[in-house]
Structure 1
Amino acid sequence: METTKKFTGKADIYSKYRPHYPKEYINYLVSYNSLTSDQIVADIGSGTGVLTQQLLINNLNVIAVEPNDDMRNIAEKQLNSYSNFVSINGTAESTGLKSYSIDLITVAQAFHWFDKLQFKKECIRILKPNSNVALVWNSRDFSSKLVIENAEICKDLCPSFKGFSGGIEKNSDVYKQFFRDGKYEYHTFRNDLEYNLESFIGRNLSASYAPKNTDSNYDEFVDAITKLFVKYSKNNKIILPNITRSYLGKV
């Protein structure tokens, strides 16, 4: 399956259950890049607009570039009321944006899907001189037994599971090869997430590797996630240990 099609049929559940990024990260992004309301951010692989909206709320001009029709349509419905929002049907490797027109590129939960070399070339083409690329993930904290058991369920019941976020967090060479001279700023922000049973199941089902309700292993997967929730929940709530990981630099 093409990477641009992996979330087809999952856009609604993705939009409903994917978490936002901590305010501390947004503030860091704005401050580090000295962003002002007259500058332009390209949010590439923008999906349903989770990060896009947080940038828009900070009065930044945001061009959201997303190839998946389902995901992009939801973002447009939710964000078209913002005058500083533009939506484009494009890929990371061919955005359709003007050369040297962008002050910052952001990529949230999507870099692992890209052709890294072609995306780097596209970043160099569209960024203004000495501007940055920001890669960010909400990542589960593997010091938690809950997270480890959640991963085991995915490994057992989801054939395409290669680790959360495609396992990219384990490969530091990817970032050294992507950023100019292998140099980048790495920061983490605590972002623990609270779920009830419905939202915990929804968050798991929003993953690209998770079964759809038409798949034969769907009921087994939901049952396993439900049992995991019951095991670790208190007062019908569960805290999923989560770290927001930020990689920022020039390309």
Structure 2
Amino acid sequence: MTIMQDLNSTERFSDRVADYVRYRPTYPEALIDWLRKAHGVVPDWRVADIGAGTGISSKLFLDAGHTVIAVEPNAAMRTAAAEWLGSHVKFLAVDGRADATNLDDASIDLVSVAQAFHWFDPERTRRECHRILRPGGLAAIYWNTRRLTGTPFLEGYEALLHTYGTDYTSVDERYADEPRMREWFGAGWRGAASFDHHQLLDFEGVRGRLMSSSYAPQAGHPKHESMIVALRKLFDACAVDSRVSFDYDTQVYVGEVP
């Protein structure tokens, strides 16, 4: 596989936590339904949500009745997750990495890895997932893939990222496709699915969604102000009832981890 780990990936989002909490998309409940019906996942399965960030993916499984251990190395993001979800009796946030979760051997029924997967070292992560999963346990790897075409807004937003993003192309190329995920799971491969997902956002939401991305130049950067002006122009040209739609395909890959 060609996915490579960024040595600074655990700190890339430290100064973007507030926007990340408020404006990053959730994941569709259809993903949980598919895991139930197609793969036998039940609410009493214990979930390790690796690279849990601010808890968006953890909440998906908490709402479905699971006990969730959120594993996150970034202190700011882990604190945000604990502040949001810490009152839930089935939630625990711990300091750990994808290749060193600090969880016990064979202690987990389902490993959940969402948007953060593309930052991980794939081989070391696979070894760690194998270690913490019980025999017969599963890993679900999933993320929201923003649609690049289909509406003037989506196409204009993609062009904006290429114009103003700091390292957008290199980050965008990290996401794996199904052949690479089949390779990652190897003999443990069980299946894949895709679900429609959407965010309907006003301008403040669009700005926050943009600024939650690690490649968006922040205030003080030479490109920041012109980027926000371009975003405002794009929004005004495309908004309907003061909203635009971010459209996603939520991709999910499931299997045992041999």
TM-score interval (norm. to shorter): over 0.9
Contact in 2 for aligned 1:103/1:127 (Cα 8 Å) = yes
Residue 79 of structure 2 is aligned to residue 67 of structure 1: no
Match of 1:167 in 2: 173
Of 13-22 and 181-190, deviating more is 181-190
1:195-214 deviation line (CA, Å, top 9, x unaligned): 11110111111111112223
- Supply the AA of the counterpart residue of 1:79: L
* TM-fit CA distance, 1:192: 2.0
* TM-fit CA distance, 1:169: 4.3
**TM-score with structure 1 setting the length:** 0.93
- Supply the AA of the counterpart residue of 2:129: C
Match of 1:155 in 2: 162
Contact in 2 for aligned 1:45/1:65 (Cα 8 Å) = yes
Name structure 2 gaps, 5 residues minimum.
Answer: 1-6
Residue 232 of structure 2 is aligned to residue 226 of structure 1: yes
In structure 2, which of residues 53, 57, 63 is the aligned counterpart of residue 51 of structure 1? 57
1:212-241 deviation line (CA, Å, top 9, x unaligned): 223222111211211111121112111222
Q: How many residues align?
A: 250
Residue 37 of structure 2 is aligned to residue 17 of structure 1: no
Residue 205 of structure 2 is aligned to residue 199 of structure 1: yes
1:109-158 deviation line (CA, Å, top 9, x unaligned): 11100000100010111111122111111111233243232122111111
CA distance in 2, matches of 1:228, 1:170: 29
Q: CA RMSD in A?
A: 1.8
* TM-fit CA distance, 1:180: 2.1
- Supply the AA of the counterpart residue of 2:195: F
1:132-151 matched pairs, under 5 angstroms? 132-144=138-150, 145-151=152-158
**TM-score with structure 2 setting the length:** 0.91
Contact in 1 for aligned 2:50/2:71 (Cα 8 Å) = yes
- Supply the AA of the counterpart residue of 2:156: E
Match of 2:127 in 1: 121
The 3 A distance-change label for structure 1 pair 33 and 102 is farther
CA distance in 1, matches of 2:148, 2:79: 34
In structure 1, which of residues 228, 239, 249 is the aligned counterpart of residue 245 of structure 2? 239
Name structure 1 gaps, 5 residues minimum.
Answer: none
SS of 1:154's partner is helix
* TM-fit CA distance, 1:35: 3.4
- Supply the AA of the counterpart residue of 1:155: H
Identity %: 32
Contact in 1 for aligned 2:148/2:158 (Cα 8 Å) = no
Contact in 2 for aligned 1:11/1:74 (Cα 8 Å) = yes
Contact in 1 for aligned 2:45/2:109 (Cα 8 Å) = yes
Match of 1:212 in 2: 218
CA distance in 1, matches of 2:42, 2:176: 34
- Supply the AA of the counterpart residue of 2:55: G
- Supply the AA of the counterpart residue of 2:238: Y
- Supply the AA of the counterpart residue of 1:44: I
In structure 1, which of residues 177, 181, 188 is the aligned counterpart of residue 183 of structure 2? 177
CA distance in 1, matches of 2:194, 2:237: 28
The 3 A distance-change label for structure 1 pair 69 and 170 is closer
CA distance in 1, matches of 2:179, 2:220: 38
SS of 2:140's partner is strand
Contact in 2 for aligned 1:112/1:166 (Cα 8 Å) = no
Contact in 2 for aligned 1:175/1:182 (Cα 8 Å) = no
- Supply the AA of the counterpart residue of 2:180: V
- Supply the AA of the counterpart residue of 1:54: L
Of 203-212 and 35-44, deviating more is 35-44
SS of 1:28's partner is helix
